[in-house]
Chain A
Amino acid sequence: MANKAYQRVYTQLEAITKATVTLKAQGVANDELAVVHGRLAQVVKTKGDMVTLQVFSGTEGIPTDAEVTFLGNPPVLKVGEGLSGRFFNAFGNPIDGGPEVDGEERQIGGPSVNPYKRRQPSQLIPTGIAGIDLNNTLVSGQKIPFFADPDQPYNQVMADVALRADVDKIILGGMGLTNDDYLFFRHSFESAGALDKIVSFVNTTEEPPVERLLIPDMALTAAEYFAVDKNEKVLVLLTDMTLYADALSIVSNRMDQIPSKDSMPGSLYSDLAKIYEKAVQLPDGGSITIIAVTTLNDGDITHAIPDNTGYITEGQLFLRADSDTGKVIIDPFRSLSRLKQLVQGKKTREDHSQVMNAGVRLYADAQNAKTKLENGFDLSDYDLRCLDYAKDYAVKLLSIDVNISIEEMLDTAWKLFAKHFSKAETNIKQAMIDKYWPNGD
């Protein structure tokens, strides 16, 4: 971003913290970009003629006589078809050695869609993973995170989901990705031959954390270009939103704001909502679906980051290692897709929701039986059958390595019910039992 000739250069900083600098300046607009000592910064506060700037790459080595120039506009991204297949950094500059993208400059973090102009999401996004498609069906225009401990293979699952989903564009926003994960995404996109429909904005752990704050807005500005201007179905992948929130807390801390729960800024809910609510089904057919990753600390979902996320997103997919089967499963109790009823039984077979509920309820009974077993009590015949069922259910349906059609998932579930239970024990509506209960078992 080159300086414009007529701009005034300031050379005296009044205060410097790890993430911000403060100086006297006039005529500065809120949210405007500036260059401080050659680094990009953004106006976050003005008070009288004192202006506070958030320096994205950190303030290490910035002297009090650093040169500061204001650029006169908030952060922008050049949008155009040329974005496809490219990799960018948090500032929207190419990192793949390719040329700059030609196109129209758009301010990132723009206004929200008028809720009245939205359409109800109604298109199924099948992933082949039964823990998702059967129990937590995804719908276009939805926003949903994976909740996972850092040791879970969430990036792999997300890449699988993205590549199997029937969408026009995939936009990856990587925040604090390790270099290895960045290369993993790059490799899986390349080897799937899908590179031309993918746009990536990446901030790796080698880069300063505050830069991450730009990634979601960059990714979503690109997504809005394809969804609104081109009426395309866009899938946005954001990983890892916990690292994004950590960067938010660094900045708010440096600005002396009073922290709320878990030393997160009081505005965390609004900050996250601004990103996730960009997910939308548009009237002209375009859509933005957001799948994110929120890493947890030892499965704790009461921490401010997953907690606020859960209130914003339309459900969550909870990854868990199942010790009974050795598989990584999508936890049926803690996972939820709030939009599933918009497609279940409408875009899928009529028995879908009844089968899903019965499957999970019986799995819950198995958990009770397991507790009894652990406490040293005798198990009833029903308990034993539940435990057998739970193993089958985890391996054949919940495990993330399952890749079958929804029809096959439903048939598999009926077979498991018939194998382990009587009709009455499933509590399913009689009409469905009459039609789908496997004969001869």
Chain B
Amino acid sequence: MKSTGKVIGIVSNLVTVQTFGPVAENELCFISVGDTRLLAEVIKVSAGKASVQVFESTRGLKNGDNVEFEGRMLEATLGPGILSSTYDGLQNDLTTMHGVFLQRGEYTDPINREKLWDFEPLAKPGDKVAAADWLGEVKEGWLPHKIMVPFSFKGEYTVKSIIDAGSYNVDTVIATLTDESGEDVPVTMTQKWPVKVAIKSYREKPRPSRIMETGVRVIDTFNPIAEGGTGFIPGPFGCGKTVLQHAIAKQGEADVIVMAACGERANEVVEIFTEFPELIDAHTGRSLMERTTIICNTSNMPVAAREASVYTAMTICEYYRAMGLRCLLLADSTSRWAQALREMSNRMEELPGADAFPVDLSAIISNFYARAGMVVLNNGKTGAVTFIGTVSPAGGNLKEPVTESTKKAARCFYALEQNRADQKRYPAVNPIDSYSKYLEYPEIREFLDESVEKGWTEKVAKAKNLVRRGREAHEQINILGDDGVPMGYHETFWKSELIDFVILQQDAFDAIDCNTPIERQMYMLNLVLDICDHRFSFDDYEECRTFFKNLINMLKQMNYTEFKSEKFNTYLSEIQNLLQENGE
């Protein structure tokens, strides 16, 4: 028997409900406005009253309107057919909705119930299984989609029967399991899972031990992110957050990509589903859209669903991780989600924390980041969820609650810098302030020694130091003037400029330069470091400047040409000539 209630107060999308019967925190309810039913979530209960956040516009809602509680939390529907979909924050399929405008109260099924899938059983009668164990497999496009024992099943089950290979829709009972008390439970190809709860049906969660390649030099070379790692990109507007995130989405080395457009521009989502089907995944040769799922709650869509959107996206990633796949979750931007929390907290007249954000903001953010990670499944295979979020700090000031809370939770920090963006030095990631804690992990260093080259992390550290020293020299030159410093300062400065222009800067809109495989990154870093080790002799700073400008220009042209092509090698020999002419 469902609990009911009546509306007794409305402020924007926060509605107070007089409840008749029990209600749970985070329970869903429907509020009836005329013939339309609006979905809402309980966010606070006190003295027979529930505060609910409505996922839709509350226009026309009246005190006294009826409320029906659903007895469940917000859930994601999991099953074949999620890949390549475009959902809203509550996992409604946006592609099957009618009309140009989003109609209030229109909820669509995330999964096509009619479509037939070619099912292959993996388990056999008599097998002992537990939650997340693989029962069978269907081909979801190219991807082997495992049909699993639902995550909500507790304890051990015995497979009683399993359906033969064949074509079935998702609602077909594909297996019957017997639980420890001898009761039979049917299993279909879909299951539901509450989005705010982490899926923990795996054996263990070890430390990440390998790198996820992104093709972006400033990340892969300078501050690599681990597979199953976490990172965040804070930056003022106009610094290229979105371009960088899209580059990672296009080039990231992952099986499944989920992009959560959380409170951001609708045109950016349009860009994804316009361009991604046309673009080819460099790792697999397939269309990018075949591995991408979009969850979008753009900034003009109902605020409350913004928070839900990141959780829905994470749940979908965890689901694919349980199939032994490498997933990448990109959320743009987590600040919008924090702002949605702030709006609700404000309307509930809670005592505010810093900048009027709720006081538990930090805890909410670290809980969420903790859901990423590499896991060892029950069958010994591994899967990973790598999470990269963007943060939009107010006024570009990194000393604000969302950035600070995220810094505590994420292991990689890619600080976008206004100054670099102003100079069009893209991606505008600050090479000094940014960091990747994974470079300190022994297992990661070992992985880099083997997969890139021995001593790679030392080379990266050396390059970073050259950039740092270049910055210091530049400051001295600015204070004392070109003539006021020894020649060596100019050389130091220009070596850092060399690294900056050739390694750090990258043209996201150039067909070749946009994506640099790790092999090419290694080659270029070695080349640049060799140049930095060269003993130069310059008569004056003017000569030094001209020499390096020339050198940078040629190395940049190299970045624009096919790796080790004829043209590439021509530039290389020109560079070698140039070096021979100067010094020894």
Interface residues of A (CB under 8 A from B): 26-32, 44-49, 74, 107, 109-121, 141-142, 228, 257-261, 266-267, 269-270, 273-274, 277-278, 280-283, 301-304, 307-308, 310-312, 314-316, 333-334, 336, 338-339, 341, 353, 357, 360-361, 364, 371-372, 375-378, 380-382, 424-425, 427, 429-430
Within B519-566, the residues touching A (CB, 8 Å) are 541-542, 545, 549-550, 552-553, 556-557, 560
Determine the chain B residues whose CB is within 8 A of the CB of A427 once the complex forms.
552-553, 556
Q: Identify 6 new A-B residue pairs, CB closer than 8 A, beyond the known A270-B263, A372-B478.
A: A27-B63, A111-B103, A257-B346, A269-B339, A270-B299, A380-B542
What is the CB-to-nearest-CB distance from B341 to chain A, in angstroms, rounded to a whole number?
A: 10
Q: Is B104 an interface position by the 8 A CB rule? A: yes
Q: Is the CB of A258 within 8 A of B395?
A: no
Residue of A303, A378, A430 touching B557 (CB-CB under 8 A): A430
Contact assessment for A341 and B509 in the assembled complex, using a CB-CB cutoff below 8 Å: yes
Instruction: Tell whether A31 pairs with B423 under 8 Å between CB atoms, given A111-B101, A302-B397.
Output: no
Contact with A along B345-377 (1 / 0, CB 8 A): 011010010011000000000000000000000
Q: Name the interface residues of B46-104: CB closer than 8 Å to any CB of A.
A: 57-64, 86, 94-95, 97, 99-104
B396 within 8 A of A: yes
Residues of A within 8 A of B339 (CB): 266, 269-270
For residue B237, CB closer than 8 A to chain A, the reply is yes
List, in ascending order, chain B residues with CB within 8 A of A378's CB. Answer: 481-483
B336 at the A/B interface (Cβ < 8 Å)?
yes
Instruction: Say whether B16 faces chain A, with CB atoms less than 8 Å apart.
Output: yes
1/0 contact string of B289-300 vs chain A (CB within 8 Å): 000000010111
What is the size category of the interface that chain B forms with chain A? 35 or more
**A380 and B299 form a contact (CB under 8 A):** no
Residues of A within 8 A of B95 (CB): 116
* Distance in Å: Cβ of A307 to nearest Cβ of chain B: 5
With a 10 A CB-CB cut-off, give which of A46, A142, A316 has the most chain B CB atoms: A46
Instruction: Given A110-B101, A307-B394, A429-B557, decide whether A48 and B8 contact each other with a Cβ distance below 8 A.
Output: yes
A-B contact pairs, 20 of them (CB 8 A): A107-B59, A109-B59, A115-B296, A116-B86, A119-B274, A120-B271, A261-B355, A270-B343, A277-B265, A277-B266, A280-B266, A301-B395, A304-B394, A307-B237, A307-B396, A310-B236, A311-B237, A314-B267, A371-B478, A378-B482
Q: Distance (Å) between the CB of A120 and the closest chain B CB?
A: 4
B273 at the interface (CB under 8 A from A): yes
Q: Which residues of A contact B445 (CB under 8 A)?
A: none
Q: Are A364 and B9 in contact (CB under 8 A)?
A: no
Rounded to whole angstroms, the CA-CA distance of A8 and B556 in the bound complex is 76
**CB <8 Å contact, A377 and B481:** yes
B303 interfacial by beta-carbon distance below 8 Å: yes
A117 to B275, CA, bound (A): 15
Q: Give chain A residues whose Cβ lies under 8 Å from the Cβ of B483.
A: 377-378
Whole-angstrom CA separation of A46 from B552 in the bound complex: 65
Residue of A nearest to B480 (CB): A377
Q: Which 8 A-B residue pairs are closest in the complex by CB-CB distance?
A: A302-B395, A277-B300, A273-B299, A310-B237, A377-B481, A116-B94, A260-B356, A31-B59
Determine which residue in A120, A266, A339, A429 has the highest number of CB atoms from chain B within 10 A of its CB, and name it. Answer: A266
Say yes or no: A258-B356 contact (C-beta < 8 A), given A112-B101, A302-B397, A378-B483: yes
Closest residue of chain A to B301, judged by CB? A112
- Determine the distance from Cα of A118 to Cα of B237 in the docked complex, in whole angstroms: 23
Closest Cβ neighbor of B508 among chain A residues:
A341
Q: Which residues of B contact A310 (CB under 8 A)?
A: 236-238
**Shortest beta-carbon distance from A28 to chain B in Å:** 6
Q: In the complex, what residues of A have CB within 8 A of residue B58's CB?
A: 30-31
Q: Complex Cα distance A116/B272, Å?
A: 11
Residues in A neighbouring B271, C-beta threshold 8 A:
120
Partner of A46, one of B10, B269, B355: B10
Q: A44-B11, A112-B101 are in contact. Are A269 and B63 (CB under 8 A)?
A: no
Is B1 among interface residues, defined by CB-CB distance under 8 A? no
Option from B57, B275, B422 in Cβ contact (under 8 Å) with A334: B422
Q: Complex formed: what's the CA distance from A371 to B475 in Å? A: 13
| Residue contact A113 to B346, C-beta cutoff 8 Å | no
- Check A116–B273 contact: CB distance below 8 A: yes
Q: Are B269 and A115 in contact (CB under 8 A)?
A: yes
Q: Measured between C-beta atoms, what is the minimum distance from A121 to chain B in Å?
A: 7
Min Cβ gap A287→B in Å is 12
Query: In the complex, what residues of B have CB within 8 A of residue A312's CB?
Result: 265, 299
The answer on a CB contact under 8 Å between A29 and B60 is yes
CB distance from A202 to the nearest CB of B (A): 25
Which of B102, B104, B394 sits near A261, CB closer than 8 Å? B394
> Which B321-343 residues have C-beta < 8 A from chain A?
336, 339-340, 342-343
**Do residues B557 and A278 form an inter-chain contact, with CB atoms below 8 A?**
no
- Are the CB atoms of B60 and A32 closer together than 8 Å? yes
Closest chain B residue, CB of each to CB of A282: B100
- Shortest A269–chain B CB gap in Å is 6
Contact among A48, A119, A121 with B9 in the assembled complex (CB-CB below 8 Å): A48
Residues on B with C-beta less than 8 A from A353 are: 509
List chain A residues, Cβ under 8 A from B343.
266-267, 270
Whether A364 contacts B296 by the Cβ 8 Å rule is no
Q: Are A302 and B396 in touch, CB under 8 angstroms? A: yes
The answer to the question of B424 belonging to the interface, with a C-beta cut-off of 8 Å to chain A, is yes
Kindly state whether residue B312 has any CB partner on chain A within 8 Å: no
Q: How far is the CA of A237 from the CA of B240 in the complex (A)?
A: 26
Indicate if the CB atoms of B481 and A111 lie closer than 8 Å. Answer: no
Q: Select from chain B the residue with minimum beta-carbon distance to A73.
A: B60
A119-B62 CB under 8 A given contacts A114-B94, A334-B422, A375-B478: no
Q: Please, how many angstroms separate the alpha-carbon atoms of A32 and B10 in the complex?
A: 12
B63 touches A28 (CB 8 A): yes
Q: Which residues of chain A come closer than 8 Å to B296, judged between CB atoms?
A: 115
**B406 located at the interface, meaning its Cβ lies under 8 Å from any Cβ of chain A in the complex:** no
Q: Report yes or no: A311 in contact with B392, Cβ–Cβ below 8 A.
A: yes
Known: A32-B60, A258-B352. A380 touches B267 (CB 8 A): no
Asked whether, in the complex, the Cβ of B62 is within 8 Å of the Cβ of A28, the reply is yes
Q: How far is the CA of A301 from the CA of B346 in the complex (A)?
A: 25
B104 contact set on A, CB distance < 8 A: 111
Interface pair B63/A46, CB less than 8 Å apart: yes
Query: Whole-angstrom distance between the alpha carbons of A114 and B273 in the complex?
Result: 13
Partner of A27, one of B62, B99, B553: B62
Is there contact, CB below 8 Å, between B265 and A314? yes
Report chain B residues within 8 Å CB of A257. Answer: 346-347
Find the B residue at minimum CB distance from A331. Answer: B422
Give residues 456-502 of B contacting A (CB, 8 Å): 478, 481-483
- Distance between Cα atoms of A314 and B243 in the complex (Å): 13
- Report how far A334 CA is from B421 CA in the complex, Å: 9
Specify which chain B residues have a CB less than 8 angstroms from the CB of A120 in the assembled complex: 267, 270-271, 274-275
